[in-house]
């Protein structure tokens, strides 16, 4: 997941976090409340368009950021 010495700029992280939130809502709407870990959508047929401008690494970092903020929950 994390790459040594690689960082995302704060603006890019916020943009990716916004895209992740949009993707979570889109998937929940399509699946009637279902939740999927957003990085798992990357490269899949179900990947929301809003994630297309980001790398899987950026989506992973944005998802972890949102989890730390309490805006996205890890469903077990």
Nearest to 8 by CA among 69, 75, 65: 65
Model pLDDT, residue 42: 95
Cα dist from 4 to 17, 35, 39, 52, whole Å = 21, 29, 19, 24
pLDDT value at position 3? 57
The pLDDT, as a whole number, for residue 34 is 80
Q: What does the pLDDT look like over 1-23, one tens digit per residue?
A: 455 567 899 999 999 999 999 99
Domain definitions of the chain by residue range: 10-69
pLDDT tens-digit map of 14-65? 999 999 999 999 998 998 888 889 999 999 998 999 999 999 999 999 999 9
């Amino acid at each position: 997941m994390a790459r040594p010495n690689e960082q995302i700029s704060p603006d890019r992280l916020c943009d990716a976090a916004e895209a992740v939130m949009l993707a979570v809502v889109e998937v929940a709407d399509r699946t009637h409340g279902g939740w999927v870990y957003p990085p798992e959508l990357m490269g899949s047929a179900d990947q929301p368009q809003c994630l297309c401008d980001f790398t899987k690494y950026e989506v992973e970092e944005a998802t972890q950021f949102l989890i730390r903020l309490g805006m996205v929950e890890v469903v077990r």
